[in-house]
Amino acid sequence: MAQSQNSFSLLDTHLLEQLQLPRVAIVHTEWNDKIVRELVNGCEGIIHKFTGDIIGKLAVPGCFELPFGCRQLWERYKNSDERPEAIIAFGAVIRGGTPHFDYVCRAVTDGILQLNLTLPVPVIFGVLTLDNEDQAWERLGGVHGHKGEEAAVTALKMIRIVRG
């Protein structure tokens, strides 16, 4: 399992202090809402810490719908002066007793990949793929860090890259 505590460059945010007013949008699922709400809360804390603005949020039913939601959010804001410089997609898929888990995880991963190749802004993959709910809490402030905060740092770093 990847542990952010062992990836010091990922956690290095000193260059982000120079970033002026980054604009981020969030698309999140309604499914597994308790987990997803904590991902979003952690993300918002980091965005605001670096004087960023969350210009829009969109809720979609489940992870399968995340890529479509990200595209819709981009289309809504793309002609605005306040368009997002990064979009973060949050969700959680918990393995059940059927192959449904594999299909949903593959679809959302492929969908986010396609958005990264076609949209002019980065789309950050903030989807937890879990065997059980306990693993979620290990990734929301437990031994594996906080994946919502890490997604925010990733978005800010990508905005910095795009800005040059």
Q: Please check the confidence at residue 6 and state whether its pLDDT lies above 80.
A: no
| Catalytic residue check, 100 | yes
* Residue of 28, 48, 100, 146 with catalytic role: 100
Please provide the distance, in angstroms rounded to a whole number, between the alpha carbons at the two ends of the chain.
32
Full-model pTM = 0.94
Whole-number pLDDT of residue 34: 98
Task: Determine the Cα–Cα distance for residues 119 and 46; give it in Å rounded to an integer.
Answer: 24
Average pLDDT over all residues of the chain = 94
Q: Please check the confidence at residue 68 and state whether its pLDDT lies above 80.
A: yes
The answer to whether the CB of 34 falls within 8 A of the CB of 40 is no
